[in-house]
Structure 1
Amino acid sequence: MKIVNILGTNYNIKFVDEFPDYLSEVGENAGGLCNRHDRDIWIKRCNDKDMTATGRERCDKDVLRHEIIHAYLSESGLSANASHYYGSWAENEEMVDWFAIQSPKIFQTFKEVDCL
């Protein structure tokens, strides 16, 4: 288990082969879950036998970035206050995926031009 600080709040990062029973229904098809109330990030290890070890590691990191973005949106208040119903832009999976997928490229650009 790792602990990461998200905007002043510690989250536990847990890599597991299966989600615990109390999360199994929510995460039936998910690769990861961010539980903002318990402040846990759960990552189901990629066990796809059609991937190399490097591919599985990359998959785990992709899912972890995705769930960390969820945690940032939650801790910033955006996910709770963006709208009054589930599905606001701050909880939208496509939006979170965009940030999670593009962030390494954006950070590399920032490093290249020395603006971090």
Structure 2
Amino acid sequence: MKVNILGTNYKIHFVDEFPNYLEEVGEGAGGLCNRYDRDIFIKKCKDKDMTAMGRKRCDKDVLRHEIIHAYLSESGLSANASHCYGSWAENEEMVDWFAIQSPKIYQTFKEVGCL
């Protein structure tokens, strides 16, 4: 699957494991956004304590999270917010907030007709 992020095409890959060259970076991660290769990798949820629907929701949550990373990167905010890793635009909590709240915000915009 491909998606256009601010004029840049990214490939989305749903995988069982990350590619070898990303294993170390993605240790413990559910997804990765590789801004230089313009790839988003989502490790398919295999949690046996979830139903099939729960695993599907998990995959969508991780995909939204990685897409937010791509938007922050393509907008220049990741690179320019700070000279060191860990700026607000790369902060996992901030990205999670956007990823979790965006469907609710979208629904609100839709309800009031401001899209």
Same fold (TM over 0.5): yes
TM-score for the superposition, normalised by structure 1: 0.99
Written as runs of structure 1 = structure 2, the 5 A alignment for 1:1-116 is 2-116=1-115
Structure 1: gaps spanning 5 or more residues: none
One-letter identity of the residue aligned with 1:22: Y
Structure 2 Cα separation of the partners of residues 85 and 24 of structure 1:
23
Q: Deviations over 1:77-107 (max 9, x none)?
A: 0000001100000000000000000000000
Give the total of aligned pairs. Answer: 115
Q: Deviations over 1:8-60 (max 9, x none)?
A: 00000000000011100000100000000000000000000110000000000
TM-score for the superposition, normalised by structure 2: 0.99
Structure 2 Cα separation of the partners of residues 91 and 32 of structure 1:
14
Structure 2: gaps spanning 5 or more residues: none
One-letter identity of the residue aligned with 2:6: L
Please give the root-mean-square deviation of Cα atoms over the aligned residues, in Å.
Answer: 0.3
SS state at 2:40 partner:
strand
Structure 1 Cα separation of the partners of residues 107 and 64 of structure 2:
15
Q: Deviations over 1:49-79 (max 9, x none)?
A: 1100000000000000000000000000000
Structure 2 Cα separation of the partners of residues 109 and 65 of structure 1:
18
| Percent of residue pairs identical | 86
Structure 2 Cα separation of the partners of residues 28 and 17 of structure 1:
13
